[in-house]
Amino acid sequence: MSVIRVLVADDQALVRAGLAALLDLEPDLTVVAQAADGHGAVALAAQEGVDVALLDIEMPGLTGLEATEQIVAAGRGTRCLIVTTFDRPGYLRRAFDAGASGFVVKDTPAPELAEAIRRVHAGLRVVDPALAEKSLLAGPNPLTARERDVLRKAAGGAPAGQIARALHLSAGTVRNHLSSAIGKTGTANRTEAATVAARNGWL
């Protein structure tokens, strides 16, 4: 029986250790590495000859989506499975755009997660069905890359002038992007726009 070599990457130590312990109970799975951030995940995936990398989305350094992109781009055949608390429809689309082979939420029962790893390793795609439905209903991300950049800064409360300096834009251009994002999200102001965009995984 061939054994699937697994990497678990999550910035929460208890979650990471718990997932690893559960997966190691499976006779055909072995956790060969654990990472606390995206940079560690990318490095360990290369060093340890990982078959399937389980990645959380919100990690320090590199996000799980950015780490996925780098792991896939390295061309070593490692497949990436996003395992996250955040069941936001926009994240699903971005995960597959980054090259992920699957997307499941952390409350997935252990036997189902193990089966998801096997399916991803076999070259199949795995998607949490409830999230897939939400993603279809939500539609594609309506925000441009620049609108996302501006909203991320705005979410932290930065004024237009400060955002403009950080992104090397004019204050007028920043206001135009904010206005467009507010319109696309159907909200009343930039704070609401940032909240809606974050909730949908568009940022």
Within 8 A by CB and 6+ apart from 98, the residues are 65, 66, 68, 69, 72, 80
The answer on 181 and 163 residing in a single domain is yes
**Residue 179: predicted pLDDT:** 85
The answer on 165 and 127 residing in a single domain is no
The answer on 115 and 187 residing in a single domain is no
* Domain containing residue 170: CATH number: 1.10.10.10
End residue of a domain, out of 86, 118, 138: 138
> Range of 154's domain?
145-199
**Residue 190: predicted pLDDT:** 85
DSSP-derived secondary structure letter, 144: -
Within 8 A by CB and 6+ apart from 30, the residues are 3, 4, 5, 6, 24
The helix (H) or strand (E) run that includes residue 127 is strand 126-127
The answer on 86 and 168 residing in a single domain is no
The answer on 28 and 62 residing in a single domain is yes
- What domain count does the chain have? 2
The answer on 94 and 29 residing in a single domain is yes
**Residue 34: predicted pLDDT:** 96
pLDDT tens for each residue of the chain, 203 residues long:
689 999 999 999 999 999 999 999 999 999 999 999 999 999 999 999 899 999 999 898 889 999 999 999 998 899 999 998 866 767 777 888 889 999 888 888 889 999 999 999 999 988 877 666 565 555 677 888 898 889 888 888 888 888 888 898 888 898 888 888 888 877 878 888 888 888 777 87
**Residue 114: predicted pLDDT:** 94
* Domain containing residue 80: CATH number: 3.40.50.2300
**Residue 32: predicted pLDDT:** 96
CB distance 90 to 138 below 8 Å: yes
The answer on 134 and 108 residing in a single domain is yes
The answer on 49 and 85 residing in a single domain is yes
The answer on 74 and 42 residing in a single domain is yes
**Residue 154: predicted pLDDT:** 86
The answer on 105 and 152 residing in a single domain is no
The answer on 157 and 132 residing in a single domain is no
End residue of a domain, out of 121, 138, 155: 138
Query: Considering only CA atoms, which of 56, 151, 52, 139 is closest in space to residue 93?
Result: 139
Q: Tell me the whole-structure pTM to 2 decimals.
A: 0.66
